[in-house]
Structure 1
Amino acid sequence: MTSSSLLRAAVCAAICFTTAAHAGIGQRFPSERKVVKDPVTGTELTFLTSTPKGDSKIYPTHPQWTSDGQWVIFRSKRVEGEAMAVNEKTGDIVQVTEGGYTGMLNLARKSMKLYFMRPAAEKDVLQIVEVDLAAVFRDSAAGKMKPAATYQRISGTTPAALGAGGDMALDADEEWAYFRVGKEEAAKHLPAGSKIEEAFGPRKMGAGPNGIARMNVKTGEIRHVVSVGFQIGHIQANLYNPGEIVFCWETGGKSPQRTWTVMADGSGLRPLYPEAPYEWVTHEAVITKDEVAMAIMGHRQIAHEDGRKTGGVAAPGTDVGGANPGQDAAWGNAGTREKPTGLAIVNLRTREMTIAGQTPSGSGLWHVHGSPDGRFAVGDDFSRTLWLIDRKTREMKMLTTGHKTTAADHPHPTFSADGTKIEIQSAMLSEDGKAMNIVVVPVPADWLKRK
């Protein structure tokens, strides 16, 4: 070993010892980065993690990369209840929270900041916490971490009376954070005569009322946004248009009217995509300043006399069961391929909806996203296969498959801010077929060269 190699090894050992002794924010873990060729498509997949440590990505409704594009933030059980960052080029893994978090991890797009909620000492009280990621990465690399309070700032605290939840979203202006409030608080602001919905579907979810409030992350000021007569889920901010919110009626499956939008001052509340009773709409995600992608499911299957099940439309009243949600009569008559289904994109301004693409059979695309430049869309299906769509030509390309239907969750694809790559979670390398890892999938070079 050369003298320079010995020096680098000594520095690394010193850093690892320091952060391991600290065992908190800034703690470092060895690189697990591997490049694996997909056995079916040949796509080179960059596994940023590759061991069974309880990894999962942030939900597709929220940013995944830090504002400098170098780090991917993810959830992990390497340290129970804490969030991690992995450097896409080096594979270095760094713990970026201390003291736990609840709900959604929110990355700022204009600054190296991370925001999240966590329980305070008082019952039913939540704090919104801001993390200075640039300082964490700098001091962690130098092996000179300071106390956690140096990097984590409490932006504000929600009173217990709000019944606040962890379904949080950071506004595009990076000054306001939106979050869900409970039934009692929501009822105070509900317009007179509003219909209070009951639980819907076999999971007995969806009952209201619920509401959305917002906190100024600079001052801690709290304002009510809106109340509705149903259970709210998947709150997300339009990352390109400050003050615009998209959320859903959450039932755990099919909703009578899934997608909704409202402005931060409470105005403009309306269904984002008014759906018909036969449509199963799900997994909406804001993808550009003016557009939201969503899946319109085509999940009904034909049950044959010999027991086989093939993609198609089930006979009326047929209960086909199966591993994919919604394939039973309890959810109602929805998801039929007798009507248009697939990866739908709705324009927030013109309200026009277009179908970008759909798989030829089976349940169809399930979790969807799109590149911010409007060129591409992406979706996963129930086989855990990832499909890329050219929005101009409608051409579809299988990017990767073999991610194991036994995986703990779906791939949940999310585009990077520059539209050149997609992050997923995958069980391809797991021995138990369940544990997932963080993976980056490139958009093919020939597709990026298209005008």
Structure 2
Amino acid sequence: MNTSTLLRAAVCVALCFSTAAHAGIGQRFPSERKVVKDPVTGTMLTFLTSTPQGDSKIYPTHPQWTSDGKWLVFRSNRVQGEAMAVNEASGALVQVTEGGYTGMLNLAQKSMKLFFMRQAAEKGVLQIVEVDLAAVFRDSAAGSMKAPDAYQRIAGTTPADLEAGGDMALDADEEWVYFRVGRNAAAKHLPAGAKIEENFGPRNMGAGPNGIARMNVKTGEIRHVVSVGFQIGHIQANLWNPGEIVFCWETGGKSPQRTWTVRSDGTGLRPLYPEAPYEWVTHEAVITKDEVAMALMGHRPVKDGGGGVAAPATGVYGANPGQDAAWGDAGTREKPTGLAIVNLRTREMTIAGQTPSGSGLWHVHGSPDGRFAVGDDFARSLWLIDRKTREMKLLTTGHKDTAADHPHPTFNADGTKIQIQSAMLSADGKAMNIVVVPVPKEWLKRKQ
């Protein structure tokens, strides 16, 4: 071995030890990218991760891709408590947080920024953190990472008496974030005579009050938005209309009134879709500037004429949530069910489609251009819908109903791809990976 070879080897070893010692933001991992043909549908699935490392995608209420469309950010146990990003083209894996995070990861769509909450040293105090992803990716590729503070900025902190936590959402103007506040803080702003709800359903969730507050990420200013008499979940911002918020009454299952919307100044509070007692509404997601997709569940067997329960037609009776009688009679196909889309302006609702059998569509999303909708089912299969023709197509299946979580399909910004999480490649049938599913080319070529 000549001198130059020895020198290169020594440098390589030094760099490896340096990376291992730092093990922080900008740390890189080998590509795991694999393209796998679905054995049933023939769809070519791009597995951007393919080892059992505790991967899970961002929830469908929030963007998955960075603003340049090149990277997907996700949760992982590759570094415990930290977020990762994967380059869709190369498969490069990069750690994009250091110091941990809690709740939702928020990818800006006008800038290469990431926002999240992080527990501060003081109990009950949360920091709102901004990450400069462009700088992280640039310096990580060059092997010239700086200290974490060069990439992460504390935009502000929430006082302990707010009892802040839960989901956080970045407004379309990228100047404000919305987050949940606890019972005591919310109670101070409740309207006189407001009803305080008790827990609803067998999971003993849903009691209020709760509230939403907002913080300016440039100044750290905090303002109260709204208080309600029930438990708030899934706070999301309309990514096209600044100041428009969608959230839900969270019970862990069927809610008396699941979906809600409000303006950032607290005005306009109303049910998004006024639901009937027999309807089981869930998994709402803002999909276009004027529309919210949601699932009207059709997963429960219909009672027979004698008051008993008919033989389950779903094939999943008892294998998935919501089948127990304590939820009441909602969620059967005696009434219309399926992937519903509500217009925020006209308040009109349409059903884009429903599976002919089985549980029906469960977690739903839609392309921002209004062309397509997508949903998964209890079997973890993925269904694509042409909103104009109502045609449905099975994109991929076999993602194992033993998986640690559900596929949670989410479209990218131009409506050409769908991200899911999948246990298809997992030996234990549980560990999930990050997967991109293409919209078929023949569908993309159709006239709008």
Q: TM-score, normalised by structure 2?
A: 0.95
User: Aligned partners of 2:208, 2:311: CA distance in 1, in Å?
Assistant: 40
The offset of 1:309, in angstroms, is 2.9
The offset of 1:20, in angstroms, is 2.9
Partner of 2:270: 270
Task: Deviation per CA, 1:387-442: give whole Å up to 9, x if none.
Answer: 00000000000000000111111100000001000000000000000000000000
SS at match of 1:20: helix
Aligned length: 439
User: Aligned partners of 1:292, 1:286: CA distance in 2, in Å?
Assistant: 4
Tell me if the contact between 1:36 and 1:44 (Cα under 8 Å) persists in the aligned partners: yes
Tell me if the contact between 1:368 and 1:379 (Cα under 8 Å) persists in the aligned partners: yes
Partner of 1:20: 20
Q: Is 1:143–2:175 an aligned residue pair?
A: no
Tell me if the contact between 1:19 and 1:143 (Cα under 8 Å) persists in the aligned partners: no
User: Aligned partners of 1:112, 1:201: CA distance in 2, in Å?
Assistant: 41
Tell me if the contact between 2:213 and 2:226 (Cα under 8 Å) persists in the aligned partners: yes
- Aligned pairs for 1:288-303 (under 5 A) are 288-301=288-301
Task: Deviation per CA, 1:274-318: give whole Å up to 9, x if none.
Answer: 000000000000000000000000111258999963239xxxxxx
Tell me if the contact between 2:301 and 2:310 (Cα under 8 Å) persists in the aligned partners: no
Partner of 1:83: 83
Match of 1:309 among 306, 309, 312: 312
Partner of 1:58: 58
Tell me if the contact between 2:302 and 2:332 (Cα under 8 Å) persists in the aligned partners: no
Match of 1:323 among 313, 319, 322: 319
The offset of 1:137, in angstroms, is 0.5
User: Aligned partners of 1:444, 1:177: CA distance in 2, in Å?
Assistant: 35
User: Aligned partners of 1:218, 1:437: CA distance in 2, in Å?
Assistant: 35
Partner of 1:383: 379
Partner of 2:398: 402
User: Aligned partners of 1:325, 1:303: CA distance in 2, in Å?
Assistant: 18
Tell me if the contact between 2:426 and 2:432 (Cα under 8 Å) persists in the aligned partners: yes
The alpha-carbon distance between structure 1 residues 179 and 98, as it changes in their structure 2 partners (threshold 3 A), is same
The offset of 1:73, in angstroms, is 0.1
Which segment drifts farther, 286-295 or 136-145?
136-145
User: Aligned partners of 2:203, 2:244: CA distance in 1, in Å?
Assistant: 30
The alpha-carbon distance between structure 1 residues 333 and 134, as it changes in their structure 2 partners (threshold 3 A), is same
Task: Deviation per CA, 1:349-406: give whole Å up to 9, x if none.
Answer: 0000000000011221000000000000000000000000000000000000000111
User: Aligned partners of 2:253, 2:301: CA distance in 1, in Å?
Assistant: 17
- Aligned pairs for 1:201-220 (under 5 A) are 201-220=201-220
User: Aligned partners of 1:404, 1:292: CA distance in 2, in Å?
Assistant: 28
The offset of 1:17, in angstroms, is 5.2
Q: Is 1:422–2:418 an aligned residue pair?
A: yes
Question: Which residue identity does 1:405 align to in structure 2?
Answer: D
Partner of 1:346: 342
The alpha-carbon distance between structure 1 residues 11 and 335, as it changes in their structure 2 partners (threshold 3 A), is farther
Q: Is 1:392–2:388 an aligned residue pair?
A: yes
Task: Deviation per CA, 1:128-186: give whole Å up to 9, x if none.
Answer: 00000000001111111111111000000000000001310000000000000000000
The alpha-carbon distance between structure 1 residues 9 and 378, as it changes in their structure 2 partners (threshold 3 A), is farther
User: Aligned partners of 1:339, 1:302: CA distance in 2, in Å?
Assistant: 10
- Aligned pairs for 1:225-304 (under 5 A) are 225-301=225-301
User: Aligned partners of 2:61, 2:417: CA distance in 1, in Å?
Assistant: 16
| Structure 1: gaps (5+ residues) | 1-6, 313-319
The offset of 1:234, in angstroms, is 0.1
User: Aligned partners of 1:387, 1:11: CA distance in 2, in Å?
Assistant: 50
Partner of 1:438: 434
Match of 2:351 among 355, 359, 382: 355
The offset of 1:16, in angstroms, is 5.3
Q: Is 1:166–2:169 an aligned residue pair?
A: no
Tell me if the contact between 2:302 and 2:309 (Cα under 8 Å) persists in the aligned partners: no
User: Aligned partners of 1:14, 1:282: CA distance in 2, in Å?
Assistant: 52
Question: Which residue identity does 2:413 align to in structure 1?
Answer: A
Partner of 2:367: 371
SS at match of 2:241: coil
Question: Which residue identity does 1:247 align to in structure 2?
Answer: F
Partner of 1:121: 121
Partner of 1:96: 96
Q: TM-score, normalised by structure 1?
A: 0.94
The offset of 1:333, in angstroms, is 1.2
SS at match of 2:165: coil
Percent identity reads: 86
Task: Deviation per CA, 1:190-209: give whole Å up to 9, x if none.
Answer: 00000000000000000000
The alpha-carbon distance between structure 1 residues 111 and 324, as it changes in their structure 2 partners (threshold 3 A), is same
Question: Which residue identity does 1:435 align to in structure 2?
Answer: A
Which segment drifts farther, 293-302 or 219-228?
293-302
Tell me if the contact between 2:301 and 2:309 (Cα under 8 Å) persists in the aligned partners: no
User: Aligned partners of 1:59, 1:424: CA distance in 2, in Å?
Assistant: 10
Partner of 1:186: 186
CA RMSD of aligned residues (A): 2.1
Question: Which residue identity does 1:107 align to in structure 2?
Answer: L
The offset of 1:321, in angstroms, is 5.7
Tell me if the contact between 1:321 and 1:328 (Cα under 8 Å) persists in the aligned partners: no
The alpha-carbon distance between structure 1 residues 335 and 306, as it changes in their structure 2 partners (threshold 3 A), is closer
Q: Is 1:447–2:405 an aligned residue pair?
A: no
User: Aligned partners of 1:24, 1:416: CA distance in 2, in Å?
Assistant: 28
SS at match of 2:49: coil
Partner of 1:316: none
User: Aligned partners of 1:332, 1:381: CA distance in 2, in Å?
Assistant: 21
User: Aligned partners of 1:252, 1:353: CA distance in 2, in Å?
Assistant: 24
The alpha-carbon distance between structure 1 residues 122 and 364, as it changes in their structure 2 partners (threshold 3 A), is same
SS at match of 1:129: strand
SS at match of 1:377: strand
| Structure 2: gaps (5+ residues) | 1-6
Tell me if the contact between 2:302 and 2:333 (Cα under 8 Å) persists in the aligned partners: no
SS at match of 1:136: helix
- Aligned pairs for 1:5-16 (under 5 A) are none
The alpha-carbon distance between structure 1 residues 386 and 10, as it changes in their structure 2 partners (threshold 3 A), is farther
Tell me if the contact between 2:205 and 2:250 (Cα under 8 Å) persists in the aligned partners: yes
The offset of 1:327, in angstroms, is 1.1
